[in-house]
Each structure stands twice: as C-alpha cells, then as structure tokens.
Structure 1
Amino acid sequence: MPFTRISLRPGYSDAQITQISDILQHSLEAEFAVPPGDRFQIFEELPPRLRVFDPHYKSRGRSDNFIQFHILAGKPRSCEQKQNFCRLLCKRLQAVLDIHPNDVMVMIHFNTADDWSFSQGQLLSEEGL
C-alpha cells in the first residue's frame, strides 16, 4: 500500500508521466512486494524557483531533470528489497526515458495499518476484524 509523491520539473508530456508512473509501479511490484492494482501516486510539477537542491550532494551531479520519489509504505521492507527497488527504478527510468540515475532520489518511510484509511473512515487495521 505505498503512496508515492513524485516531484519533478514542468515539461513532461502526459505520455512521459504515464511512463514514469508505470515504471514506478512495475518496480514496486517486482521488488517491493506490492500487489497489482495497489497504485497511489501524486505527480507535482514544480518550477525551478520551488525546486531547491544541491547538484552534487551525495550524487555525481544532478541536472534540472532531477526527480524525487517520496514513498510512504505500510509495511517495512528489507534493506535488500529497498536496494533492489531503487536500482531497478533507476535502470528502467534510464532505459525508457533517458533519465540519468544521478537525477533520481528516493525517500522511503514506513507506517502501520493504523495510519491508513482507504475509504469510509475505516482504518486498514479494522478490515481484519
């Protein structure tokens, strides 16, 4: 049940946004144990004045194509799952959209079933009751 906020520069076409979404989803399903159909993503296009980042911090050099993936997930994943996911995401973004791995930043946070309500005010933790 990950929820991902994707922050990127303006100018991507609708087709490119769809490709990023699909690459993210396929990578989550392949390496993060996410079931098909569990897709919750928000894309936010931010102008340069609202995107402040160091081009070299912990990177070999970010460009204006820098994309942040902020993932909130309901159950913890192993270090290996997180590594495999990040590597696959970067590999697919580069192969399909020529987005360099230096321009991809992933932040992962975890919470519990008590922190999710998918609809009708019912907590995910209540569904098993």
Structure 2
Amino acid sequence: MPLTQIFMRKGRTEIARRELQAGIYEAMRQTFAVPEDDRFMIINELEGADFWFGRSYPGLDRSDDLIIIQITVSNNRTREQKLALYKAVNHELSARIGCRPDDIFINIVEVMPENWSFGQGRAQNIE
C-alpha cells in the first residue's frame, strides 16, 4: 500500500489534479503491482514562498510547475521496479498533464511492513 504525498504550487485545475493522481496511480499499478483501489494520495498545494527548490540541481532545468512526489511503501520493491516507476510516472504525467520531465521529482520512502495500519487498530501486513 503506497501512501503518496504530492507537493506543488497552487493553481492547477481540479481536472489536472485528478489526472496527476490517476497518472501516478497507473504508474504504480504498472511497476509496483499495486492492487485495484489501493489509492491513498494527498495533494499539498503551496504558495510560491512556501515552495522553495533548486531550479538546476543536478543539471536540470526546473520551472514553477515542479511537482514533488513522495511515495511511502513497504521495503519490498527491487531497484529495477523503482527505476521502472520513475520512468512510468514521467511518461504518465507528460501524457496526461503535459508535465516536463525536469519538473517531476520523486522520492521513495521505505518502511517495514509492520509500520502500516489500514484501520481497525490492526497491522494487516503482518497478520
């Protein structure tokens, strides 16, 4: 179960925000074997002064349209799956909302399976 946080400047339409979420979800389904309906995504829209980033690190050309995607997952994905995810997210967001590849920043945070409770006070991943 990924938990996805998306950070970007305010100003995108509701349709663009939904397409952004749908594109990330589709990329995770393709590469991380995420089950149907396993969608837990939070969009954080920030004012310009609250969204500070290096425009050229490392050798890129970022714009004000930068999207930072942080995906928390259990620590059971391979290096190859992660590399495939980065490419799939870039493909989906470029196709769906016209996002430039330099404006897509992805960070994966891995946690142990027992660090999840999906509800009911249980740790479903280890039961």
Verify same fold: TM over 0.5: yes
Q: Which residue of 2 aligns with 1:9?
A: 9
1:19-58 correspondence runs (5 A):
19-58=19-58
Q: Which residue of 2 aligns with 1:89?
A: 89
Deviations 1:73-96 (A, max 9, x none): 023211111111111111121122
Contact 1:6 1:42 in 2 (8 A): yes
What count of residue pairs does the alignment treat as equivalent?
127
Which aligned segments of 4 or more residues in structure 1 are displaced greater than 6 angstroms? none
**Helix, strand or coil: the match of 1:45?**
strand
Taking a change above 3 Å as real, the CA distance of residues 125 and 82 of structure 1, as seen in their structure-2 partners, is closer
The aligned amino acid for 1:105 is: F
The aligned amino acid for 2:61 is: G
Deviation, 1:44, is 0.4
How far apart are the structure 1 equivalents of 2:119 and 2:52?
A: 35
Q: Which residue of 1 aligns with 2:109?
A: 109
How far apart are the structure 2 equivalents of 1:5 and 1:31?
A: 18
TM-score (normalised: structure 2)? 0.95
**Helix, strand or coil: the match of 1:117?**
coil
74-83 or 4-13, which deviates more: 74-83
The aligned amino acid for 2:88 is: L
Deviation, 1:109, is 1.1
How far apart are the structure 1 equivalents of 2:59 and 2:83?
A: 16
TM-score (normalised: structure 1)? 0.93
Contact 1:59 1:102 in 2 (8 A): no
Deviation, 1:59, is 4.1
Backbone CA RMSD of aligned residues = 1.1
How far apart are the structure 1 equivalents of 2:42 and 2:123?
A: 21
How far apart are the structure 2 equivalents of 1:120 and 1:67?
A: 33
**Helix, strand or coil: the match of 2:28?**
helix
Deviation, 1:97, is 1.0
